[in-house]
Chains A and B, each alone.
Chain A
Amino acid sequence: MAKSAPILRIDLAAATPAYEQIVSGLRAILVAGGFEPGDQLPTVRQLAVDLSVHHNTVAEAYRMLAAEGWLELKRGRGATVLGRTTPEPESGSREKFSRSLRELVAKAMADGVPGSAITSLMTNHMKEVIERPAMKSGTAERKGDKR
């Protein structure tokens, strides 16, 4: 695990359901290399307690991340981070990202965030995510496994 523990932040007042926010937040941390393969995530109960949400909300989020190949869920052992393979981009992924980004930037500007701040933030986030420790390629692996 990285030296400083990642912090997950959600907004229960937001229109986006809590489980989707948990999925997005955790995915961002995983993509940024906040965890290494083999690391344990907090238990469903612990994370639900800390986020003031129902157990089922966190359980659903963990299931979705497991379906994406980020986590391995085992009864009694909680959620273990996997060394996920980066899949080949689906057709239309780039266009979908472009559209989402455009909408996001437009929303930020509509909310009054200056263009220079948006550019700066995007640069920072891109550095944080894209220049992260290289994602592992190959099949899903666990820490300590031979590659």
Chain B
Amino acid sequence: MSAQFEITFGIFSAAIAAMVAMLFHKIPEWTRPDIFFSVTVLPAFRETPEAKKILRAYRAQVWLAAAFSAAAIVFGVNTSLTLFVALGELVLVAGSLAAFLAARKGVLPHAVPASGVRVASLAPRPAHLPGGLIGQAGPFAILFAIAIWLRAHWTAIPERFPVHWDASGHANGWATRSARGVYGPLLIAGSVLAMLTLMAYGILTSSRRVAADTDGKHDFMHRMLTALLVIEYGMALLFAFVGALPIIGQPGIALTFGVTLVFVAGVFVLVASLRRNSSSIASRAPHVQSAAESYAEIHHLASASDHQPAGDGTPDGNWKWGVIYYNPDDAALFVEKRFGIGYTMNLGRPVAWIILAAMLVVPLAFAAIVVLK
């Protein structure tokens, strides 16, 4: 492994690990005030010594896993055993999830039943994705533009060009100047973007609005869908860069890792910003710490009569290990994650399994078409 590659790869892996650890560190702050480690609690519970102790223990475990991860990455890079680098990243995620499950176990005795009150706005729901048709088509247009550019410069593409590199940074996989070899990465990107767009539409039409009494433009769902569109643009640009490699040549390890790192960091910042906004709301009104500005109102409507936490409209009993939602009696296909940011599917709906299978199979099928000869 070359020294330059060692340093670049080490920095890249460590940066990714640090971002993942920071994400796990912050996630408990970003959930609703009455959901703590996926358990419905009284909002005041977070401020109790017991809750603070659970949070401290969770964070200590996350950073311990991060330390093990860093050690494995350094060892892997120094010994050229890339397996240890992958293992390091795995240890971090697995360790953090184990910390979450342990914290959840500690919170469960403090669980309280959520209010059964459900509130719905009878206003027409916005039927369009952020950006409209043109905005949503943008990422596909980027890929299409690169495809046209590649076609226009077809003769400039080498007969054989590298598409895969080993741990030392030496090319070990090659593609030929063919439609499959040149357009393949763009095709895979297109399929992934199509799945993301379909998912965004599913969230728009089949998820609960956090705030029942808003016009739908300021709620969490809208901001989430906007963030998803920004990520799609980032992905399209990243894949456009990859697609153009046959002509622009290998850009160097530092640039490749740099571009990937910027993309990943951008996603992290974007995701974090979704909840930072809600924190600023919370700082103005301590009893309101949700993603939606009008959550205070819905919270009031839901809990005023019985003094129970409003929760997120999903029963605790339908969450397996706090992360998998299964409720055949809930019409929602997408529900807000209880731990993490964004939406997860209601696996109690058969269509969720079809979507899951499609999300796995479609990009893999395109990848197989491109890779297999």
A contact residues vs B (CB 8 Å cutoff): 1, 4-14, 29, 34-35, 40-42, 45-55, 58
Contacts and interface: CB of A to CB of B under 8 A. Distances in A.
B329 interface: yes
A5 B122 contact: yes
A13 B314 contact: no
Contacts of B120: 7-9, 42, 47, 50-51
Given A12-B116, A52-B330, A29 B122 contact: yes
B41 to A, nearest CB: 18
B206 interface: yes
A10 B122 CA distance: 13
A135 to B, nearest CB: 19
B251 interface: no
B124 A50 contact: no
B122 A52 contact: no
Contacts of B115: 11, 13
B213 A7 contact: yes
Nearest to B117: A11
Interface of B: 113, 115-125, 205-209, 212-213, 301, 305-306, 313-314, 329-333
A29 B120 CA distance: 13
18 contacts: A7-B120, A7-B121, A7-B122, A8-B120, A8-B122, A11-B116, A42-B120, A42-B124, A42-B125, A46-B205, A47-B120, A51-B120, A52-B313, A52-B331, A53-B118, A54-B330, A55-B331, A58-B331
A49 B332 contact: yes
Given A13-B115, A13-B116, A49 B212 contact: no
A5 B121 contact: yes
A16 to B, nearest CB: 11
Nearest to A51: B118
A29 B332 CA distance: 24
Given A1-B123, A11-B117, A29-B122, 18 more contacts: A4-B213, A7-B120, A7-B121, A7-B122, A8-B119, A8-B122, A9-B117, A9-B119, A9-B120, A34-B122, A42-B124, A48-B331, A49-B333, A50-B120, A50-B121, A52-B331, A54-B329, A54-B330
A40 B117 CA distance: 24
A5 B125 CA distance: 11
B125 A46 contact: yes
Contacts of B124: 40, 42
B330 A5 contact: no
A7 B116 CA distance: 16
Contacts of A42: 120, 122, 124-125
